[in-house]
Amino acid sequence: MDNTVKIFDTTLRDGEQALMASLSVHEKLQIALAIERLGVDIMEVGFPVSSPGDFESVQTIAKTLKTSRVCGLSRAVKADIQSCADAMSVAEAFRIHTFISTSDVHVEQKLKRGFDDVLNMAVDAVKFARKFTDDVEFSCEDAGRTPKDNLCRMVESAIKAGATTINIPDTVGYTIPTEFNGIITDLFNRVPNIDQAVISVHCHNDLGLSVANSIAAVQAGARQIECTINGIGERAGNCSLEEVAMIMQTRADYLGLRTNINHKEIARTSKLVSQICNMPVQANKAIVGSNAFSHSSGIHQDGMLKSANTYEIMTPESVGISKTKLNLTSRSGRHVIKHRMGELGYKESDFDLEELYQDFLQLADKKGQVFDDDLEALLYNKQQQGESDTYRIEYLSVHSGGGEFSTASIKLACNDEVKIQSATGNGPVDALYQAIKQAVDIDFEVSDYKISNKGEGEDGLGQADLVVNYQGRKFHGYGIETDVIEASGKALISALNAIARAQKVAQLKQQAEQQADQQKIHGV
């Protein structure tokens, strides 16, 4: 049996379902390109039939990916499968992933059908999907709680219908590793055509066992793991990509398994997904947490000084984390910035050196020393400016003292118009937001707001993240500055620009519909 385990990333499908606000097409594309650079084999990028926005993002990513196989999700329904095919037809090759529930509780309570009906639906779905691609994956939803006989029947029938990958999900994170290993083993022993498909697993983390179950499954013969960056996803999340990849890398001596993951891209990809998705990584998270390679105990520190492998089973460099911190100040030249970005894993084509250097000088003048996280934050902030903005802050002033209220004044560019507005609030951020709200005349509500330090120490860059509710939709905004009030203002403007883009899309759609109606009237 092949010892290579395929990595199937579902960050942009299952992972995105857990976010407070939907990602824009631009943000999804950024994540997709980073995940492709990480080296995943298959990337599930959305559920095309779910919304026009999801269809557009799947289509956009399908056009762009070069090395990872693009995949779209569908229920065992022809309309869903057709939507997948339509969205991904722009790609040279693609996978359709169709699924249906198989456990008794799902079949009886959710689908309200008999198992034989469900089996026939699955077979019809796989056959229909094969009309569009020879790469069809079928999932037995809630396989962990499905009776063994029914599961074997379903797997055998799906393979016979043309499925080339069979996914066995622990949809509700219910199974124990030895139990899940037994399910996979039984399938290999009992399904006569099992050798005609790749067996995949998709484990959830409700009991904290998603990674353990996935490793137990590949030990039993599964050769695809479905996972997400940082383990994000429904409820307690999905199997963590970085953890299973590093388990198979670090314990290759015991498992005898490998992946195609470029391990040195792990830390950078984790950070990008965390930042764009507004999902902080816990400090003690395995592999990518800020404490993953930190040592506080005196005994540990003594051991590390003598030999790193006394307390580190893998090096931070192996996942793309640099131990060395260069002292970058306003006296540093361009060549130092270029060298540091190279050490962080960026190619020269990933950034404009002159633009980054000028931004670096401005930041260095403000805070003195600039760190690795600061450089990456500057680059991330610059990348986000590629989208046209409706609103721009030209000037802001906030006063907050011992009085009852804070006051804020703002000069805001709204397309070609400049608006000046002042307001009071219960604090400096509230006053600033009230001034912006009056200037833009949009009825929105800030439902979530937080500040985090993106550098090192008390003079690090502050990042503000918030979620804005507008007409039943949620929009995420962020801002990065040394001044947290400025960062907070930029975060709100970022969300308002996202609202403006959504309004433009709605207007274009309405115009297209009106034009189509006129053509019908005139018989065109």
pLDDT digits (tens, 9 = 90+) for 195-223: 999 999 999 999 999 999 999 999 999 99
| pLDDT tens-digit series, residues 292-322 | 876 544 454 455 556 667 767 888 889 998 7
Mean pLDDT of 282-292: 89
3-state secondary structure of 268: helix
Residue 298 pLDDT? 45
Residue 17 pLDDT? 86
Residue 180 pLDDT? 98
CA torsion 256-262-263-264 (nearest 10°) is 150
Residue 156 pLDDT? 98
The answer to whether residue 289 is domain-embedded is no
179-185 contact pairs (CB < 8 A, 24+)? 179/144, 180/144, 180/213, 180/216, 180/217, 181/216, 181/217, 181/219, 181/220, 182/220, 183/143, 183/144, 183/148, 183/151, 184/216, 184/217, 184/220, 184/221, 184/222, 185/220, 185/221
Domain check: are 39 and 83 in the same one? Answer: yes
* Ranges assigned E (strand) in 249-295: none
Domain check: are 84 and 174 in the same one? Answer: yes
Give dist(CA 87, CA 58) in Å, integer: 6
Say whether pLDDT at 64 is over 80: yes
Give dist(CA 492, CA 466) in Å, integer: 7
Residue 296 pLDDT? 41
Give dist(CA 489, CA 262) in Å, integer: 37
The answer to whether residue 24 is domain-embedded is yes
Say whether pLDDT at 135 is over 50: yes
Query: What angle is formed at CA 388 by the lines to CA 385 and CA 392, rounded to 5 degrees?
Result: 75
The answer to whether residue 521 is domain-embedded is no
Say whether pLDDT at 244 is over 90: yes
Residue 490 to residues 179, 221, 482: CA-CA distances in angstroms? 50, 50, 12
Q: Bridge-partner residues for 481, per DSSP?
A: 462
Domain check: are 269 and 316 in the same one? Answer: no
Q: Is the dihedral of CA 481, 485, 487, 489 positive or negative?
A: negative
Indicate the DSSP class of residue 229.
G
Choose between 248 and 463: higher pLDDT. 248
Say whether pLDDT at 48 is over 70: yes
Residue 325 pLDDT? 46
Domain check: are 467 and 480 in the same one? Answer: yes
Question: pLDDT tier at 402 (50, 70, 90 boundaries)?
Answer: low
Question: pLDDT tier at 360 (50, 70, 90 boundaries)?
Answer: confident
- From the number of C-beta atoms within 10 Å of its C-beta (0-12, 13-18, 19+), residue 498 rates as buried
Q: Are 277 and 233 in contact (CB under 8 A)?
A: no
Q: How high does pLDDT run on average in the chain?
A: 89
Residue 455 pLDDT? 66
Residue 65 pLDDT? 97
Q: From the DSSP assignment, how many helices (H) and strands (E) are in the chain?
A: 17, 14
| pLDDT tens-digit series, residues 246-268 | 999 999 999 999 999 999 999 99
Domain check: are 255 and 367 in the same one? Answer: no
The answer to whether residue 519 is domain-embedded is no
Domain check: are 52 and 81 in the same one? Answer: yes
Q: How many CB atoms lie within 10 A of CB 233?
A: 25
Q: Are 391 and 402 in contact (CB under 8 A)?
A: no
| pLDDT tens-digit series, residues 367-397 | 777 766 677 778 766 665 555 688 999 999 9
Domain check: are 161 and 191 in the same one? Answer: yes
Domain check: are 142 and 77 in the same one? Answer: yes
Domain check: are 214 and 259 in the same one? Answer: yes
How much is the pTM?
0.80
Give the chain's domain count.
Answer: 3
Mean pLDDT of 108-131: 96
Domain check: are 99 and 207 in the same one? Answer: yes
The answer to whether residue 104 is domain-embedded is yes
Q: Bridge-partner residues for 8, per DSSP?
A: 42, 226
- Among residues 195, 137, 140, the alpha carbon closest in space to that of 2 is found at 195
Question: And the tokens for 11?
Answer: 């960050």
Q: Which of 102-111, 321-330, 370-379, 479-488 has the highest mean pLDDT?
A: 102-111
Domain check: are 349 and 393 in the same one? Answer: no
Q: Are 9 and 265 in contact (CB under 8 A)?
A: no
The answer to whether residue 286 is domain-embedded is no
Radius of gyration of the chain (CA): 25
Give dist(CA 54, CA 521) in Å, integer: 31
Give dist(CA 35, CA 485) in Å, integer: 33
Domain that holds residue 101: 6-277
3-state secondary structure of 12: helix
| pLDDT tens-digit series, residues 417-460 | 999 999 999 999 999 999 999 999 888 999 889 988 876 666 67
Residue 374 pLDDT? 73
Q: Percent of the chain scored above 90 by pLDDT?
A: 64
Domain end point (choices 384, 413, 436): 384
Q: Percent of the chain scored above 70 by pLDDT?
A: 90
| pLDDT tens-digit series, residues 503-523 | 876 776 677 677 767 776 766
Domain check: are 411 and 323 in the same one? Answer: no
